[in-house]
A and B are shown apart, each in its own frame.
Chain A
Amino acid sequence: MKRPGTFPMEARWSLLAALSVGACGGDAPPAATDAGPPPMEAPPPLPSVRLLVDTNRNGVLESRPDFADHGAWTPAHGAVFMANVDDDDRDHAVDALDDAVNGDNDALDLARVRVEPWPEAPTGAVGRLALSEGAAATVKLYRRTDGGWARWDFAAGTLSDAELRAGVEFGIEATDFATQRWDGMAELSLTVTRGDAAADAAPLGTDRVALKVAPWVIMNPLEEAYRVFVVDAQRYRPVRLFVNDLDAATQADGMELFRIDGLNPMYRSASDRLMGPDVWAQDIMEFGWTGIPGPDGTLHAMPVVLRTPPTMRAIGRFTEQELLGPDFGYTWKHTTRTANGAGWDPSLDSFGNLEIAPPHRTPTRDYPLGRTLYGTAERRFPDRDLQGFLDAQGVQGPPVHLDTSWLHVGHIDEFLSFVPAPSPRGWRMLLASPRLARELLEGIVRENPAHANTLMFEGQSFFYLTGAMEGQPYPAQRTIASLLRDEALNAFNQRVQARIDAQREILQRELGVADDEITEVPFLWSNIERNLAGALMPGTVNLLVYNRSVVLPRPHGAFLRDTDFFEDDMIARLSPLGLTVHFAEQWDILHAAEGEVHCGTNALRRIPLQSRWWEVAP
């Protein structure tokens, strides 16, 4: 949020800063100090050759406070800058990928760097800037000019004696976030020499500053949502049923529903054109944000959408085509099939497999931005560039790896979610529980043996003769008794429960969640193939949460006394948490295709502008 050309020269200076000057990078002879009210005691003189960045992270450049220890970077101290990945000039390309500053709004995304004035710079003095080797490929510097900004050429660019005397303003940006190839750190140095000096002559002065690129921070489900996304294609009845229910729920809550046009030719691959649209709105994108200190004590930040790696998912183009824009960033991490090698499973690139445990504290550590969770499976792995990117962000880690090898789809949202709760922690963990489903079904029959013949999933089926999910249709409905007496199904569910219990042990240990902070969500699972599990009953843990509302898959459970027992059960479990519970019809379009409501939706949330990611130790 810094305005070009408005860098207040701070008159005040801190004793701490003054005392630490001796430890700074500047090593030229002392120069005149800043103007300002006469201090009680004269501050130590500053070196002549000085680079200034926002070391104390208050959003403004201040000669003395920001000079202190500006060559080092720690969570407590050090300048930051942004990956400039939005599109302020609306040319459908990330701003940082060209060599221009695209207008005043784009200039706001540059962190400021200043070569401080050196009024006594000798005639013929020449200044040269350099970037540390690791950062050179990813970091760009722009020099402020009368007409705007000009890309700085590190190899050929020099500062004249006149410019050194007057001082020069720069803006710095990154073309990307930290990755497995770059740790996000940049060291910028300034060296001033005599113009006629020999190459090996001692410089007149040098200085260097350390900066760190802002990470991509994943939004967590407790943050205020303001827009829900779904893929729409009204001519497909199953899609229509789901979108209409979602529309009713969001309208009731005053929430914006954004319908991604699933019929847009640009968003349809060959198979999408043959069949229905790619409806997995959760899997194709993950919302996060990035930001640097603004001058008013809050962040200058932008939301940034991360696109799923697989190139063949045409619906992923939506993120670049419609979300990338002014103050809305976009990034896409993917490598080639060859580079990924055998074992790459594109399903693990879906962002239903990437979740954030909301902010929390454990006995050993704070996680103020939450903690990354993702599923892994032995001998199957996600895109290597995606994994490297996620691991490199640092501020929501180290990630908790959960075993999803027992799932056919393999995503953690199949058995796990988080909802807000009126508790000291502020949230609860929801975990799938076939054990509870079985107990509930047994209880129904115990209460009235005639209920053994009650149909579950009445009238529902898998596959259709034509259209989306074309195949041999087969009915899903079966009685409660047939579920309870199915030996193989029960053995399989007992093993699924054991798998979930093992992940629960990891989650409770890593997140510090107590038993009474977990809500078990009852549904049974089936063996999709190869002893890999998928939800048999609609997986009601796989839900959309926005603010104080949740949208669950309609369970199509047992209708007793004119209501669905499992709908009533979920309302009873979630309403006491202060949540408004909605159900959406999604059997045909999501459940039958191994997903549920969470998989078919996404939510954009407000950036927590008071966040101070830089204080989070990686």
Chain B
Amino acid sequence: MKRASLCSAALCALLAFPSVALASPLLPDTALAPQARRALAEQVRAERASHPELFQRLRSLGGVRPEVYLRTRAQRPAVTRELQALGPGALFPMLDVLALSGYPQALGAEETVTLQVGLLEALGALQDRRAQPALRGAFEALTDPAAVGAAARALGGLCTDDEVAYLTTAGARGGMRGLAAWEGLGACRRVEAVRVLADALDRATDRDTMEALARGLSDAGSTWARAARGQTDDGPSVAARALLRAFLRADAATRPELQVALSAVGAPETPQLVAEARRAPNLDASTQRALESLERVLRRSRPR
């Protein structure tokens, strides 16, 4: 009747280390058009010749090694910050690992997705248009939602007219990639992107789409981001008005994400807009309560 003996060291080790796969490219060959692939290979060859140390640094990342990430509190792999810290010089080494050579060590499934995500997020942080073909290839070819989302955010961060149009088209198609596109477009904080997202939110009816658009708007419309770059535009106002319109017609399950987005945008006129909404005739009780809650949250979030 005593407690069974603790698992053996061997069993513990098996549980601790997921099964591994052979090293392989992280993107299928077909993700890049042959011409783009050849061009990238040329650039990588030239970069490797002049900066071999940067390529070397990508050969052993701590965040995908179980013995390292099991020491972290999350006990899950994570490699984005480690890759971001390599700086702009890592553009081609990262593109090489992502699209051409793959990672030189065997990785389990979770580590593989984490490395895909990390590379795409780190490439996105560089906002370098030379990464665009690989980012589009990743967006279209990868299947894990986290990796597709990372690709979409990286494309959004490029923030060109082409990328806004590309993500808008992808968003309109719907599905997993569509949701990722709407959220990713939020990484472009131009007012044009905010308007696209606001229009889409006005048309959206299902919860998943409304939440993805809300997350996109919370990023694209951010007042803190605008303060950081020292510019203002109508983005926060457009985002806040669209989010509030959606909030008023949304069901109870969808409202929390819309509320967070409204709060995250931080448009100065939001409290006034909410107060006006509360005065509207024929508000049902649940909407009235939701607006009261929103008002409290906004009141507490004012600068001290």
Contacts and interface: CB of A to CB of B under 8 A. Distances in A.
Contact of A593 (B73, B215, B296): B73
B74 A408 contact: yes
B74 A347 contact: yes
B252 interface: no
A274 interface: yes
Contact of A528 (B81, B227, B301): B81
B81 A462 contact: yes
For chain B, what secondary structure do more than half of its interface residues adopt (helix, strand, loop), or is it mixed?
helix
A526 interface: yes
A159 interface: no
Interface in B119-155: 121, 125, 146, 149-150, 153
A352 B73 CA distance: 10
B73 A283 contact: yes
Nearest to A324: B3
Nearest to B70: A271
B72 A594 contact: yes
A472 B65 CA distance: 12
Given A270-B13, A502-B259, A474 B71 contact: no
Interface stretch (B41-49, B55-63, B167-175, B277-285): B55-63
A561 interface: no
Contact of A347 (B12, B73, B218): B73
B80 interface: yes
Contacts of B205: none
Interface residues of A, number: 73
A167 B139 CA distance: 79
A605 interface: no
A494 B67 CA distance: 34
Given A491-B189, A529-B79, A599-B73, A505 B224 contact: no
A226 B103 CA distance: 50
Given A436-B304, A526-B81, A529-B79, A495 B264 contact: yes
Interface string A262-301: 0000000111001110111001000000000000000000
B85 A469 contact: no
A99 interface: yes
A120 to B, nearest CB: 40
B80 A529 contact: yes
Contact of B68 (A312, A409, A469, A526): A469
B125 A271 contact: no
Interface in B266-294: 266, 293
Interface in A466-500: 468-472, 474-475, 484-495, 497-499
A274 B222 CA distance: 44
B263 A498 contact: yes
Contact of B63 (A99, A275, A279, A471): A471
B79 A595 contact: no
B103 to A, nearest CB: 14
Contacts of A493: 224
B245 to A, nearest CB: 18
A477 to B, nearest CB: 11
Interface in B1-19: 1-3, 6-7, 9, 12-13, 15-17
B260 A498 contact: yes
A409 B219 contact: no
Nearest to B263: A498
Interface in A493-536: 493-495, 497-499, 501-502, 504-505, 515, 526-531
8 contacts: A279-B71, A311-B6, A347-B74, A347-B76, A495-B222, A495-B260, A498-B218, A529-B80
Given A270-B67, A529-B78, 14 more contacts: A98-B2, A99-B1, A271-B66, A278-B71, A347-B75, A463-B62, A471-B82, A472-B86, A487-B229, A488-B187, A494-B222, A494-B224, A502-B259, A528-B74
Interface of B: 1-3, 6-7, 9, 12-13, 15-17, 57, 60-63, 65-68, 70-76, 78-82, 85-86, 114, 117-118, 121, 125, 146, 149-150, 153, 157, 187, 189, 215, 218-219, 222-225, 227-230, 256, 259-261, 263-266, 293, 296-297, 300-301, 303-304
* Closest 7 pairs between A and B when the two form their complex, measured CB to CB: A471-B62, A474-B85, A498-B264, A270-B13, A498-B263, A491-B225, A491-B222
